[in-house]
């Protein structure tokens, strides 16, 4: 059998979120950065938060007004 075919496993890898939350988990990557996690995601927190980076909500509202006429 071939040796060294699998990547190294880090049992104490750190996952950092943009909100500042850090999660320790097992992974083949030592460090990972994510934009949203269970500590700040609206589904888990119950808080409604609109993440609109390109004005998609406003474009949708304009299209809805045009369709309603």
**Containing H/E element for 3?**
none
CATH code: domain of residue 61:
4.10.80.400
Q: What pTM was estimated for this model as a whole?
A: 0.56
- Which residue from 48, 45, 52, 57 is spatially nearest to 17, judged by alpha carbons? 45
Residue 3 belongs to a domain: no
Residue 2 belongs to a domain: no
Contact 14, 26 (CB under 8 A): no
Residue 1 belongs to a domain: no
Could you read off the pLDDT of 6-65 as tens digits, one per residue?
999 999 999 999 889 999 999 999 999 998 888 888 777 777 766 666 677 888 888 899
Could you tell me the residue range of the domain that residue 31 belongs to?
Answer: 10-68
Q: How many domains are there within the chain?
A: 1
């Amino acid at each position: 059998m071939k040796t060294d075919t699998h990547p190294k496993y880090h049992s104490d890898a750190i996952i950092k979120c943009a909100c500042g939350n850090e999660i320790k988990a097992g992974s083949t990557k030592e460090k990972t950065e994510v934009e949203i996690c269970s500590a700040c995601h609206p589904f888990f927190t119950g808080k409604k938060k609109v993440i609109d980076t390109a004005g998609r909500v406003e474009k949708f509202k304009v299209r809805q007004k045009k369709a309603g006429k």
